[in-house]
């Protein structure tokens, strides 16, 4: 198992997300949290889907190159939501959150998380995509959710593990944990590949 082979490695999760911290902890591996603030998360024009998510994850990792040591591995991630060829990142206000949920109402959208593993001599970037189908959301449901849960730190303005996921999501295709912000099964496999460990 992976945790048996990491005693001489220092894993750092470079994320402020409590959900990513919780999910990574579920793999039973030791890690620390370290965050460099004020990383530009803008996406170049023409980027879409997995390209955008992987670009942002890699860009976040690049900000940590100066703190890398020989035993350190940085894990960064970025989650985006795509619907009707639009990328929805984090909402800037309640009005923006309401708008995003209105776009998702009654439709299937994609949740894409890009992940980067960075060491002093190695870099791996990958992504995972999950399809999520929302039922038709009334204005009252949207307003209640955004005012009660205020999902300003979540791509697409919702958390699948919160109330809106219970009442509004009809089905998903793919990894549930990916929608929360980290595709932990795929990450486990990639970490094993990164350290050349047989699963």
Three-state DSSP class for residue 103? helix
Q: Residue written as tokens 């509004």? A: 168
Give CA–CA dist 108/32, Å, rounded. Answer: 35
Give CA–CA dist 113/160, Å, rounded. Answer: 14
**How does pLDDT run across 18-53, given as a tens digit for each residue?**
999 999 999 999 999 988 777 888 888 888 889 999
Three-state DSSP class for residue 68? coil
Active-site residue identified among 78, 96, 120, 140 = 78
**How does pLDDT run across 66-117, given as a tens digit for each residue?**
888 888 999 999 999 999 989 998 999 999 999 999 999 999 999 999 999 9
* Number of residues that make up the chain: 199
pLDDT at 109: 98
Active site residue 78: yes
State the architecture of 2-194 in CATH terms: Alpha-Beta Complex (3.90)
pTM score: 0.93
Residues β-bridged to residue 74 = 12, 118
């Amino acid at each position: 198992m992976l945790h048996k082979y990491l005693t001489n490695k220092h894993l750092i999760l470079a994320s402020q997300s409590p959900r990513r911290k919780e999910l990574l902890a579920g793999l039973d591996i030791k890690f620390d949290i370290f965050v460099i603030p004020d990383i530009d998360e803008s996406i170049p024009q023409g980027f879409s889907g997995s390209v955008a998510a992987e670009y942002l994850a890699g860009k976040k990792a690049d900000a940590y190159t100066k703190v890398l040591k020989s035993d350190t591995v940085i894990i960064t991630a970025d989650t985006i939501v795509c619907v009707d060829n639009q990328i929805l990142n984090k909402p800037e206000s309640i009005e923006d959150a309401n708008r995003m949920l209105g776009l998702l109402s009654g439709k299937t959208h994609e949740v894409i998380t890009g992940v980067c593993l960075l060491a002093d001599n190695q870099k791996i970037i990958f992504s995972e995509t999950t399809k999520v189908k929302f039922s038709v959301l009334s204005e009252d449901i949207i307003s209640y959710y955004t005012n009660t849960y205020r999902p300003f730190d979540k791509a697409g303005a919702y958390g699948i593990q919160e109330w809106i996921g219970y009442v509004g999501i009809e089905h998903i295709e793919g990894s549930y944990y990916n929608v929360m912000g980290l595709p932990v099964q795929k990450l486990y496999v990639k970490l094993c590949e990164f350290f050349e460990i047989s699963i």
